[in-house]
Structure 1
Amino acid sequence: MIERYTRKEFKELWSDLRKFQLWLKVELAVCRAWHKKGKIPLTALTEIEKRTKVDEKTIERINYYERIYKHDVLAFVSAISEQIPEYSHYFHMGLTSSDVVDTALALQIKEALSLILQTVEKILQKLKELALREKKTLMMGRTHGVHAEPMTLGLKFLSWYEEMKRNKERLLRALENISYGKLSGAVGTYSNLDPEVERLALEELGLKVEPVSTQIVPRDRHAEVMWALAQTATSLERFATEIRHLQRTEVGELQEPFKEGQRGSSAMPHKKNPIHAERICGLARLIRSYLITSLENVVLWHERDISHSSAERIILPDATTALDYILNLFLEILDGLVIDRERMKENINLSFGLYASSKILVMLMEKGVPRDQAYEMVQRCAMKSWNEKIPFYISLTEDEKVSQYLTPDEIKKAIDPWSFLQHLENIYSRVFQNNL
């Protein structure tokens, strides 16, 4: 991922330094397991643990060998072996490259998901706060971008909160599902290894044993991670798109934060654009595109090749880094979100009370008017109100047929925006289960 959209934690996590450090961590865990099995003497293990390291000089040696070998794991093994020449025959003993790469990759993905989940938790707390604070902030609910019926801003945030809860569950499942390693050799048969060595090493690393591995850990696990990342990014795009719509000049109900000194346009000094929400939308599309590649990585020749490897070197760092970035960007938007409550009230009145058409329709049906006839009556009054730009209340009370069934007081109560929200508390109690 480019520097512009990379936070420090993820730059470090997906660096070559961190990758090779994790490779060494896996190798040392295997050495300790071999020691427990009596294959590596304590004196040798002690020296291996003390002398092996990965720093910038080590990476230079790895790069040197890779230019010759065209194989990064062999280059890594050779570079580390230089640090322990008399004990190098114990290093990488019985392992195949993917034993190290896949096991270390699981550790990297676990760390990435853990960092992402920390931010998700902050977003959940902020959305809960906003949902409760704006619980009774009236605004117009829209369908197809057109006025529908009144709702509250709190309900909008409550919807986002619930969706982010589901994303948290998806990410947690992905974290659980990726927490597997394999140290089982070239085709997963332990031809030069001992299953007990695998169990001991993975236990030390905090991973579970892949029940049936091939040369690699099966890639459906990684595809599930990518699905959770893509779905979370898609949710953020949904929220950001709504903020963008509500920031439009003609709506003007929400506005993402605009800090002192910030500029919105090179040509128009008055501009305050929803650039952060738009950036979230753009990067969400990128993350979703990686899901296709991740699914295609599941299919390998004879269940074991590395056609997935080149793609994963891009999509896993990029997707996790981009999601981390837009999660934090969304949190920044929420923290500084500008809410124009007066504009929300003004916008409710733009459609002359026509939002009450469904309630008037039901009231007429309850009075015994056949549905089609009731629909025609309400629609006629609604069109009159819209075309003549008069309150819906007036067109209803002046209509002879409607007046036969509904009194002016009944109509007035139906048009009251709060009459649509009598079950607001019920919705909130379902979400928070009476534990606010």
Structure 2
Amino acid sequence: MISSVIDSDIYRGIFVSEEMRSVFSDESLMQKWLDSWSALAQAEAEAGLIPKDAAEKITEKADYELFDKTLIREGIVDTTHPLIVQIRQFTEAVGGREGGYIHWGATTQDIMDTAVVLQIKEAHSILLKQLKRFLTTLLNHAEKYKNTIMAGRTHGQHALPVTLGYKIAIWADEIGRHIERLETGADRYLMSSFSGAAGTLASIGNDGLKVQEFFSKNLGLKQPVITWHVQRDGFAEYSSTLAMIAGTVGKIANEIINLQKSEIGEIEEGFKDGQIGSSTMPHKRNPMICEYVVGLVRVVQRSASLGFDAMIQEHERDMTFWTTEWSYIPQISILTSGALEQMQGILERFIVHEDNMEKNLNLLKGLIVSENLMLKLGEHVGRQVAHDIVYEASMEAFESDRHLVDVALENSKITEHLSNEEIRNHLNPKEYVGLCSEYVERVEKKWGKR
């Protein structure tokens, strides 16, 4: 029986990246435990602590397909220990005195933490690949729509004209920083864990750091400066980065939802024949994929907060919060990847209704650029006086449902300083988009090479 959308055969197609899901499968986890034991045996053989033939045989048998997953699951319940049953099976599989060198000098948390880091390393690679593709798509759209003018909105109301490319470039810039966060964060949390029972490596002695170095190198991970059994800031950083990535993706999805509203109709997530918006209203073209994305992003952000809770550890090792990592790290990795996958599809097929953008831009009949008229008038009468004059004209235009141009042309306080042509030019939305184009170019210059 399935109880999670991550594993559900019904739901997972809309929530989950299958590539990421495989990284956090039982088979992957078991293999990474085995890879950690194998790497440790090789490191200890290299340091002269165990026989080389033992390391070779341990590595030869480090294949999850040789193990019984059902027996391991039942054994964890019986023993209440997460690794001892697989250690026993592994020892039996290797056999002889060589099997006795499995897990030499290690503690359970060493192997389990290292396995999780190996999973995160794979997840890291997948996320970077997805984010770079996503960034490229955003940059292409930013360039394509660099001069596509639309109403900018603040507090849910028309503010000043912007361009769609400018809006998308803001999203791209954020995604670029997330890529940087992942790349720089790797040095802090893609670290091996081999420190022994209390973290002192007393089980290995003077060769401990040498073994730790070889172990890390064998796995392609960083060697820690000191034991991190009770240092969980690395996982907290990874989690917070994923929560931020999810936040950006969710923001993009939410913006499309808002711009797809019937009253606005400027962007549509894309609709294909056979897609159903409503079970009762045949006409509906709902932004349902974006809604799915916003929903799962909220799950990611709530779950990622466990990374901060897990930083509160007691003494030299503490299992109370450690166990949450086995649950929330796979979940946030899979769902964040799923959100990116869904939004990538949306951005590749979304529809831009430039005619509606043009219509909405003129919805307030010139009021959207009242600032431009005010600043021009302010050159003659001062900003505050100009504000009051244009404010009165704007309220008159709004309440009488007339174009601000017409009201302004009748206002002697304005016409005594500005010509008719100046008034018309300064109330043309297309002439007041500021540095939208330049901003797009700055974002393209910074992140284009990504």
Measured against the shorter chain, the TM-score band is over 0.9
Structure 1 unaligned regions, length at least 5: none
- Paired positions, count: 434
Is 1:45–2:58 an aligned residue pair?
Answer: no
Letter in 2 for 1:398: E
- Residue pair 2:230, 2:316 contacting (<8 A) in 1 also: no
- Residue pair 1:62, 1:76 contacting (<8 A) in 2 also: yes
Structure 2 CA distance, aligned partners of 1:356 and 1:60?
69
Structure 1 CA distance, aligned partners of 2:435 and 2:272?
38
Could you tell me how far 1:372 is from its partner in structure 2? 3.0
Which one of 124, 136, 157 corresponds to residue 147 of structure 2? 136
Letter in 1 for 2:27: L
Could you tell me how far 1:46 is from its partner in structure 2? 2.8
Could you tell me how far 1:433 is from its partner in structure 2? 3.2
User: Which stretch of structure 1 is more off in the superposition, 153-162 or 3-12?
Assistant: 3-12
Secondary structure of 2:93's match?
A: coil
Structure 2 CA distance, aligned partners of 1:366 and 1:333?
46
What is the Cα-based RMSD across aligned positions, in Å? 1.7
- Residue pair 1:110, 1:178 contacting (<8 A) in 2 also: no
Aligned pair in 2 of structure 1 residues 358, 89: CA closer, same or farther (>3 Å)? Answer: same
Structure 2 CA distance, aligned partners of 1:299 and 1:133?
48
Structure 2 CA distance, aligned partners of 1:44 and 1:19?
23
Aligned pair in 2 of structure 1 residues 173, 350: CA closer, same or farther (>3 Å)? Answer: same
Is 1:66–2:80 an aligned residue pair?
Answer: no
Structure 1 CA distance, aligned partners of 2:384 and 2:51?
89
Q: What is the aligned partner in structure 1 of residue 363 from structure 2?
A: 350
Structure 1 CA distance, aligned partners of 2:56 and 2:309?
43
Q: What is the aligned partner in structure 1 of residue 329 from structure 2?
A: 316
Secondary structure of 1:259's match?
A: coil
Q: What is the aligned partner in structure 1 of residue 340 from structure 2?
A: 327
Letter in 1 for 2:366: G
Is 1:203–2:217 an aligned residue pair?
Answer: yes
Structure 1 CA distance, aligned partners of 2:387 and 2:124?
52
Task: Please show how residues 19-418 of structure 1 align to structure 2 within 5 Å.
Answer: 19-55=29-65, 57-86=67-96, 87-193=98-204, 194-213=208-227, 216=229, 218-367=231-380, 369-418=381-430
Structure 2 CA distance, aligned partners of 1:388 and 1:56?
81
- Residue pair 1:210, 1:217 contacting (<8 A) in 2 also: no
Structure 2 unaligned regions, length at least 5: 1-5
Letter in 2 for 1:212: I
Aligned pair in 2 of structure 1 residues 316, 388: CA closer, same or farther (>3 Å)? Answer: same
Aligned pair in 2 of structure 1 residues 296, 434: CA closer, same or farther (>3 Å)? Answer: closer
- Residue pair 1:65, 1:79 contacting (<8 A) in 2 also: no
Aligned pair in 2 of structure 1 residues 49, 303: CA closer, same or farther (>3 Å)? Answer: closer
Is 1:430–2:438 an aligned residue pair?
Answer: no
User: Which stretch of structure 1 is more off in the superposition, 301-310 or 255-264?
Assistant: 301-310
User: Which stretch of structure 1 is more off in the superposition, 194-203 or 37-46?
Assistant: 37-46
Cα deviations by residue, 1:386-418 (Å, 9 ceiling, x for unpaired): 111111100000012111111111011111223
Structure 1 CA distance, aligned partners of 2:190 and 2:374?
56
Letter in 2 for 1:295: F
Letter in 2 for 1:281: V
- Residue pair 2:42, 2:56 contacting (<8 A) in 1 also: no
Q: What is the aligned partner in structure 1 of residue 3 from structure 2?
A: none
- Residue pair 1:139, 1:150 contacting (<8 A) in 2 also: yes
Structure 1 CA distance, aligned partners of 2:447 and 2:288?
36
- Residue pair 1:65, 1:78 contacting (<8 A) in 2 also: no
- Residue pair 2:147, 2:163 contacting (<8 A) in 1 also: yes
- Residue pair 2:31, 2:62 contacting (<8 A) in 1 also: no
Could you tell me how far 1:145 is from its partner in structure 2? 1.2
Structure 1 CA distance, aligned partners of 2:351 and 2:276?
17
Structure 2 CA distance, aligned partners of 1:198 and 1:58?
30
Structure 2 CA distance, aligned partners of 1:132 and 1:61?
57
TM-score by length of 1: 0.96
Aligned pair in 2 of structure 1 residues 165, 52: CA closer, same or farther (>3 Å)? Answer: closer
Structure 1 CA distance, aligned partners of 2:181 and 2:7?
27
- Residue pair 1:66, 1:75 contacting (<8 A) in 2 also: yes
Could you tell me how far 1:64 is from its partner in structure 2? 4.0
Aligned pair in 2 of structure 1 residues 105, 226: CA closer, same or farther (>3 Å)? Answer: same
Structure 2 CA distance, aligned partners of 1:19 and 1:231?
26
Cα deviations by residue, 1:154-191 (Å, 9 ceiling, x for unpaired): 11111111111111112223323211112110111111
User: Which stretch of structure 1 is more off in the superposition, 74-83 or 55-64?
Assistant: 55-64
Structure 2 CA distance, aligned partners of 1:400 and 1:37?
92
Identity %: 30
